[in-house]
Amino acid sequence: MNYSYLSYIKLENTAEQPVYLQLRDAFRELIANGILQSDVKVPSSRVLSEYFGVHRQTVVSAMQELLSEGWLLSKDRKGLFVNNNLPEIKPRSYGKKIKVYPDTAAFSFHKTIHPTIGRKSFLFGFDDGYPDIRIAPCLAFSKAYSQILAENARRNTLAKVASGAGNLLLRDELAKMMRTYRGLSITSENLLLTHGSQMSIFLVASKLLKYGDNVVVTKPSYLTANNCFTSLGANLLTVGVDNSGMIIDEVETICRKKKVKCIYVTSHHHHPTTVTLSVERRMKLLQLAEQYSFAIIEDDYDYDYHYENKPLLPIASNDKHGNVVYVGSFSKILSHAFRLGYVIAPKNFIEEIATYRRLIDRQGDQILEEAVGILFRNNVVKNHVRKAVNIYRERRNAAYQLLNDELSDYLQCDLPEGGLAFWTHFDPAISLQRLSERCALKGLFFPDGRTYTYDKSKMNACRMGFASMNTKELTKAVEILKTEIGRN
Ligand SMILES: Cc1ncc(COP(=O)(O)O)c(C=O)c1O
């Protein structure tokens, strides 16, 4: 028999890909290119193992893959043959070929109320307060992924069907972390994993709100959360914010007049202004929640970043009666590219949202959740946060210095005690929208200040994230900003 085509196959023991997969791929290619034609008999595993000097099982594994993919057929006691009905199936066409895909749908659909303004992709800029993915523990991450995807581990982790609440390893690790560092006396049964805070807020709000329910938010606020509430038919009632955070007396005034279903609060660092809700107001809010039976959605989006004093524990850590639903995320710890967040709440509420989430997402991302669970178990997350806090403290200080040295005639901001952004007020003569457009032309992202309130009341302020840029980039960013402000 002529086996000369075997000379095309080069196997390398040192390559990253296992030898049996190299052999499988080589055979696939020979068949796909017509070098090995339909109905041709493939040499036996003994012949191939001798020819390539590899273990017979290596050949058997490669052949099994080719059989299961349909490239080869097994004929009783005759051996393996190239399939004459190859897996590269050409679908049968019907109707007239469509050259241009339709731009618009021919059916009616609901539009999202107040869509948030999309952002173009920029290499650097004053974002909303994102971390720097360049310092994320990506090597440890890829090791954890390899560990999970390694063949003999697959059955242990990946074959399991998770509950709607998500991966148990990560839930256990997170619960431990919450007990140790955030004063929350919880177990994994109080915890549900999601694809980020935004999904958490949506799930929670969907189960809390009915059409026409009142939700209290601040003004200004995190509009994407507000949009979520209004898209569910809720009615937004607003209260102010001062240096001690959300003004809780205004919440009380509302509660006296109207039935409030829930309150959305960014307690640790108010979004967008970055201020921390004071202890007195936290206690008052809890007391009102009990008195008027409303839920508090506490969105603690960047709890880990505090640079001066000890941070205040979450409001949820003082929740004796089960009024608080605590929402958190890994977007500010690692990057929003890793879609991972969580909800913490009384067990019966978690069970309900775990059931409900299955309508849109069966079980979350098991591999990502297991990988982050491994990072927790190996203290990678803890060490990363420690390192990141030091780096971002330096960047905060450098950015503050630069803004004050170069731009104090045009803007005013306080040094935030925590978080990843400055809340910055600009001279009313400066149009943030024009400035944003000009900076974009220079490759710098600069927010246009339109994403914090619905109305047109002019705050002329914006969040200026400092953490995703190193000192060199911050210097360059401030230089561009200064030039463009000068032209405003
Ligand atoms: C206040 C606040 N809440 C929630 C989110 C949503 O975060 P994610 O869905 O990425 O976890 C963000 C995003 O930046 C935020 O700033």
Cα–Cα dist 59/138, whole Å: 35
Class of domain 155-378: alpha beta
Whether 118 shows a pLDDT value over 70: the answer reads no
Residue 17: what pLDDT? 86
| H/E stretch holding 367 | helix 366-377
For 133-171, letters b (16+ CB in 10 Å) and e give eebbbeebbebbeeebeeeeeeeebeeeebbbbbbbbbb
- Judge if the beta carbon of residue 271 lies within 6 A of ligand 1: yes
pLDDT at 232 over 90: yes
- How would you class 16 by CB atoms within 10 Å of its CB: exposed for 0-12, middle for 13-18, buried for 19 or more? exposed
| Atom number, ligand 1, closest to the C-alpha of residue 222 | 1
Residue 457 has pLDDT above 80, yes or no: no
Tokens of 253: 């005034």
pLDDT computed for residue 199 by the predictor? 97
Distance 228 CA to ligand 1 centre (A): 12
- CATH label, 4-82, candidates 1.10.10.10, 3.20.20.80, 2.40.160.40, 3.90.1150.10: 1.10.10.10
**Which tokens go with 380?**
């990678």
Mean pLDDT of 197-220: 97
pLDDT of amino acid 117: 56
Is the CB of 157 inside a 6 Å radius of any atom of ligand 1?
no
What is the distance in A from the centroid of ligand 1 to the CA of 358? Answer: 22
Nearest-CA residue for ligand 1 atom 7 is: 197
pLDDT band at 160 (very low <50, low <70, confident <90, very high): confident
Label residue 381 by pLDDT band (50, 70, 90): very high
Q: Which ligand 1 atom minimizes the distance to the CA of 271?
A: 1
Domain residue ranges of the chain, discontinuous segments joined by +: 4-82, 124-129+383-487, 155-378
Closest residue by Cα to residue 248 from 213, 274, 221, 287? 287
Q: Is the CB of 222 under 6 A from ligand 1?
A: yes
Report pLDDT for 310: 82
Q: How far is the CA of 349 from the centre of ligand 1 (A)?
A: 22
Kindly give the number of the ligand 1 atom that is closest to the alpha carbon of 128. Answer: 14
Q: Is 197 in the pocket of ligand 1 (CB under 6 A)?
A: yes
How much is the mean pLDDT over the chain?
A: 92
Q: Please give the Cα distance from 423 to 242 (Å, whole number).
A: 13
**224 alpha carbon – ligand 1 mean position (Å):** 8
- What pLDDT is attached to residue 340? 96
pLDDT at 151: 66
Ligand 1: atom nearest CA of 200 is 9
Distance 273 CA to ligand 1 centre (A): 14
Task: Name the pLDDT band for 165 (thresholds 50, 70, 90).
Answer: very high
Residue 343, both tokens: 């909800």
What ranges in 415-470 are assigned the alpha helix state H? 432-441
Q: What is the mean pLDDT of residues 60-76?
A: 92
Give residue-wise pLDDT tens across range 9-27.
999 888 778 999 999 999 9
> CB of 311 closer than 6 A to ligand 1?
no
At 121, the pLDDT band (50, 70, 90 cuts) reads: confident
pLDDT on residue 152:
65
Nearest CA to ligand 1 atom 15: 301
| pLDDT classification of 114: cutoffs 50, 70, 90 | low
Residue that is written with structure tokens 């360059």 in the block:
476
Give residue 49 CA to ligand 1 midpoint distance, Å: 55
Residues 6+ apart with CB under 8 A from 421: 127, 128, 129, 272, 274, 463, 464, 465, 466, 467
* Cβ of residue 171 lying under 6 Å from some atom of ligand 1: no
Q: Is 194 in the pocket of ligand 1 (CB under 6 A)?
A: no
Class of domain 124-129+383-487: alpha beta
